[in-house]
Structure 1
Amino acid sequence: MAEALRGAGDVLRREIALFCQEMADNLRRLIVGLATMAGAEVFAVVGSEALTALIVGAAFLVIGVVLAFSARSRFSVDGLLPTRTGRQLRQDAVVIKEHVDA
């Protein structure tokens, strides 16, 4: 009898845990759905000129920042120095020195 009661208690605890997990999942799904609906409403109200300007302005700001950082990396002082010419002049100097010494 005690064994049956313990088994029933274990089954009841597992059922309660399953119920709590299921309710938490359902609540999480409801919250995500509400947040998605709120986001959809924001974009549906594009009739608002201020909101439209904000969305477009934010997109252009992101594009501008990306382009600025890309351009900044290309305008380094090291990139303007003629490295191949310097390397070639050094090689030519070595060859000329070898011919003069020979």
Structure 2
Amino acid sequence: MQGNGNQTIQGLVGEALRESTDLAQKEFTLFKTEVSQNIRTLFMGLAMVVVAAIFAIAAVMLLTDSLVKWLATVVHSEALAALIVGGVLALIAIGLGLWGRSAMSSSTLTPKRTMHSLKRDAEVLSERGA
């Protein structure tokens, strides 16, 4: 009886291992499929953003041209109107560029929460070891 019980336990353990391996393989296949679909969706979204940027650039150019033409009727000089509009756009570009540069500085990109968590984990481990 005991031999048969051990056989059954060994068989059950072997079957559990086979099923666990099969489940892990299926989970990995699902993971690969999901990641592949997510990457495809990401690239589609990126393409839409690029197309939107192209249309936005065209719109800004047309609006800028219209603004210069309108301002030329006010100041009676197309050259002066172009200088005014160009100067304002240059100031906006400089401001946005400086703001973007500060947003990308190394201090803002440092993973502070992760570093804090790692320090806390190291402290806990050192306390347990002591």
TM-score, with structure 1 as normaliser: 0.49
Higher RCO (CA < 8 A, seq sep 6+): 2
TM-score, with structure 2 as normaliser: 0.40
- The structure with the largest alpha-carbon Rg is 1
